[in-house]
Structure 1
Amino acid sequence: MSRFPVKPFRFGVQLSVSPDRNHWVEQAKKIESLGYDIATMPDHFGDQLAPVPALQTILDSTTTLRASALVFDNDYKHPVVLAKELATMDVLSDGRVEIGLGAGWMISDYEQAGIQYDRPGVRIDRFVEGLHIIKSAMGEGPFSHEGEHYAITDYNGFPKPVQGPHPPVIIGGGGKRVLTIAAQQADIVGVNGSLHAGVIGPDAIATMTGEVITDKVALVADVAEAAGRLEHIEMNIRTFFVSVTDDRAGQVAGMAQMIGVEESMIEESPFALIGSPDHMIETIQARREQYGFSYVIVGPDELEAFAPVVAALAGK
Structure 2
Amino acid sequence: MRVGIVILPEHRWWAAEPLWRMAEEYGFAHAWTYDHLGWRSLVDKSWFDAVPTLTAAAMATSTIRLGTLVASPNFRHPVHFARELTALDDISDGRITLGVGAGGLGFDSQVLGQPELTPGQRVDRFAEFLELLDLILTRDTTDYSGTYYSAVQARRHPGCVQLPRLPFVVAANGPRAMQLAARYGSGWVTTGRGAEDQESWWRSVAELSLRFAEALAEQGRDPAKVDRYLQVDAAPVFSMSSVEHFRDVVGRAAELGFTDVITHWPRADGPYAGKESTVEEIASEVLPEI
State the TM-score bracket (shorter-chain normalisation).
Answer: 0.7 to 0.9
Deviation (angstroms), 1:173: 2.2
Aligned residues: 271
1:273 is aligned to 2:239: yes
SS in 1 for 2:5: strand
Partner Cα separation in structure 1 for residue 52 and residue 146 of structure 2:
30
Deviation (angstroms), 1:304: 4.6
- CA 1:213 to 1:282, structure 2 compared with 1: closer, same or farther past 3 Å? closer
1:222 is aligned to 2:195: no
1:60 is aligned to 2:63: no
- CA 1:98 to 1:212, structure 2 compared with 1: closer, same or farther past 3 Å? same
Task: Give 1:1-316 correspondences, 5 Å limit.
Answer: 9-46=1-38, 47=45, 48-194=47-193, 204-205=194-195, 209-226=201-218, 227-240=220-233, 273=239, 277=243, 280-289=246-255, 291-301=256-266, 304-310=277-283, 312-313=286-287, 316=290
Deviation (angstroms), 1:307: 4.3
Partner Cα separation in structure 2 for residue 314 and residue 99 of structure 1:
26
Deviation (angstroms), 1:136: 1.4
- CA 1:74 to 1:308, structure 2 compared with 1: closer, same or farther past 3 Å? same
SS in 1 for 2:152: strand
Partner Cα separation in structure 1 for residue 177 and residue 83 of structure 2:
24
Deviation (angstroms), 1:274: 6.4
Contact 2:191 2:232 in 1 (8 A): no
Instruction: Point out where structure 1 has 5 or more consecutive residues left out of the alignment.
Output: 1-8, 195-203, 243-265
Deviation (angstroms), 1:87: 0.8
- CA 1:110 to 1:241, structure 2 compared with 1: closer, same or farther past 3 Å? closer
Partner Cα separation in structure 2 for residue 163 and residue 315 of structure 1:
29
Per-residue CA deviation, residues 91-135 of structure 1 (Å, 9 max, x unaligned), is: 111001011111111323222331222111112111111111111
Per-residue CA deviation, residues 37-93 of structure 1 (Å, 9 max, x unaligned), is: 222111222242110001111111111122111111112111111111011110111
Aligned-residue Cα RMSD (Å) equals 2.5
Contact 2:9 2:53 in 1 (8 A): no
- CA 1:278 to 1:240, structure 2 compared with 1: closer, same or farther past 3 Å? closer
Partner Cα separation in structure 2 for residue 119 and residue 206 of structure 1:
26
Higher relative contact order (CA 8 A, sep 6+): 1
- CA 1:230 to 1:50, structure 2 compared with 1: closer, same or farther past 3 Å? same
Amino acid at match of 2:261: V
- CA 1:140 to 1:116, structure 2 compared with 1: closer, same or farther past 3 Å? same
Partner Cα separation in structure 2 for residue 176 and residue 239 of structure 1:
21
- CA 1:109 to 1:141, structure 2 compared with 1: closer, same or farther past 3 Å? closer
Partner Cα separation in structure 2 for residue 307 and residue 183 of structure 1:
35
Deviation (angstroms), 1:144: 2.2
SS in 2 for 1:209: helix
Amino acid at match of 1:299: H
